[in-house]
Amino acid sequence: MTPIIDVQQVNKAFGGLRVINDGSIQVTKGSITGMIGPNGAGKSTLFNLIAGALTPDSGRVLLDGEDITALSANARFHKGLLRTFQIAHEFSHMSALENLMMVPSHQPGENLFTTWFKPRLVREHDAKVRRRALEVIDFIGLYHVRNELAGNLSGGQKKLLELGRTMMTDAKVVLLDEIAAGVNRTLLGDLIGNIERLNQEMGYTFLVIEHDMDMIARLCDPVIVLAQGSVMMEGNIDDVQNNPEVIEAYFGGSAA
């Protein structure tokens, strides 16, 4: 089967520093694939190369078999490749529900022509977006705070809202970079449950960067280990945690 994400021998340097060295990873459609590695290994950089925030010096990125290396982040977004972002400052004064309704899509309301000449179409579309936003906010368990300003939500609730934003579009692949950081155990359980449901019920594929090994163990198979800009190994969580090279990379051998 064609991998949904296929990163082929990608290189990226910042100044003289080579951060991604011949990075090649494949993500299977329908999987929740984990990515771990020491600080500075290049995980977030690789995400940015996949999402289009960065362009590789060489190599290719394919989405479902299509070469997307030259496409902008926005074009990739519209193809269903999403990464979560922290709720931007300018959205913190809008309600949780409005934050979901703001997610860009092909909205007729944004086109001046349709706004002026087809107001009924715009109204119908807005009503549809609102219905969808209400469904999503219920799904992520934030219905009770739907009218609260996003800026007043707790850290964990903001993470749930970020995940909710990915559900406002037809996402195929969602990239999650350390969403568990700073989230309490109860909300983390909700977050994990939501990711599993999106995966199983809606067919989302996830690529998950996480330092929290419990979360990786609960959610991810396979797990890719990145070290110094290259893939060190890929396997299930047990293979990874028992691999001497991985232990060395994380603990400098002291754990052996």
Ligand X SMILES: Nc1ncnc2c1ncn2[C@@H]1O[C@H](COP(=O)(O)OP(=O)(O)OP(=O)(O)O)[C@@H](O)[C@H]1O
Footprint of ligand X (CB under 6 A): 14, 19, 37, 39-45
Stretch that binds Mg ion, among 42-50, 150-158, 223-231, 241-249 (CB under 5 A): 42-50
Decide: is 33 part of the binding site for Mg ion (CB under 5 A): no
Q: Read out DSSP for the chain?
A: ---SEEEEEEEEEETTEEEEEEEEEEE-TT-EEEEE-STTSSHHHHHHHHHTSS--SEEEEEETTEE-TTS-HHHHHHTTEEE--PPPGGGTTSBHHHHHHTS-SS-GGGSHHHHHH-HHHHHHHHHHHHHHHHHHHHHTT-GGGTTSBGGGS-HHHHHHHHHHHHTTS--SEEEEESTTTT--HHHHHHHHHHHHHHHHHH--EEEEE-S-HHHHHHH-BSEEEEETTEEEEEE-HHHHHT-HHHHHHHHTTTT-
Q: 40 or 119, CB closer to Mg ion?
A: 40
Decide: is 45 part of the binding site for Mg ion (CB under 5 A): no
Q: 55 or 115, CB closer to ligand X?
A: 55
- Cα separation, 226 vs 42, whole angstroms: 7
User: Choosing among ligand X, Mg ion, none, which partner's interface includes residue 45 (Cβ < 5 to 8 Å by kind)?
Assistant: ligand X
Decide: is 44 part of the binding site for Mg ion (CB under 5 A): yes
CB 223 within 8 Å of CB 249: no
User: Choosing among ligand X, Mg ion, none, which partner's interface includes residue 19 (Cβ < 5 to 8 Å by kind)?
Assistant: ligand X
Decide: is 48 part of the binding site for Mg ion (CB under 5 A): no
Minimum CB distance to Mg ion, residue 133 (Å): 30
| x/- track of binding to Mg ion for residues 169-208 (CB under 5 A) | ----------------------------------------
Minimum CB distance to Mg ion, residue 53 (Å): 13
User: Choosing among Mg ion, ligand X, none, which partner's interface includes residue 41 (Cβ < 5 to 8 Å by kind)?
Assistant: ligand X
User: Choosing among Mg ion, ligand X, none, which partner's interface includes residue 42 (Cβ < 5 to 8 Å by kind)?
Assistant: ligand X
Minimum CB distance to ligand X, residue 15 (Å): 7
Minimum CB distance to ligand X, residue 36 (Å): 9
Q: 34 or 164, CB closer to ligand X?
A: 34
| Nearest partner of 54 among 84, 91, 19, 106, judged by Cα | 19
In the complex, the residues that contact Mg ion under the rule CB under 5 A are 44
